[in-house]
């Protein structure tokens, strides 16, 4: 199977059903109408301080990391 065919098969499998697509469209419209999108930080904007658990469940603050050097945030949309 060529890469092109393989990618086409992946795209076909990941295409949402008509019901799912309708839910996503409605949700996107509701989000836009709510005004919440206007509060989302933009590229280059300073993020607020936060604390999250590390892999061991221990709290780690962004301020503690920033005291040592730069901090990069990566938002990963997972599919579990």
Q: How confident is the model at residue 19 (pLDDT cuts 50, 70, 90)?
A: very high
Q: Which residues pair with 59 in a beta bridge?
A: 53
pLDDT tens across 26-76, in order?
A: 999 998 899 988 888 888 888 889 999 999 999 999 999 999 999 988 877
Q: Record the pTM.
A: 0.47
Say if residue 79's pLDDT is above 70: no
User: Smallest Cα–Cα separation from 61: which of 52, 72, 70, 71?
Assistant: 52
Question: What per-residue confidence (pLDDT) applies to 80?
Answer: 62
DSSP 29-42: HHHHHHTGGGGSPP
User: Smallest Cα–Cα separation from 61: which of 51, 46, 74?
Assistant: 51
């Amino acid at each position: 199977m060529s890469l092109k065919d393989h990618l086409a098969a992946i795209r076909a499998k990941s295409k949402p059903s008509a019901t799912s697509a309708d839910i996503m469209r409605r949700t996107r419209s509701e989000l836009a109408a709510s005004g919440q999108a206007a509060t989302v930080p933009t590229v280059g904007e300073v993020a607020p301080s936060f604390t999250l658990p590390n892999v061991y469940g221990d709290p780690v603050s962004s301020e503690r990391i920033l005291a040592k050097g730069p901090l990069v945030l990566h938002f990963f949309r997972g599919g579990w």
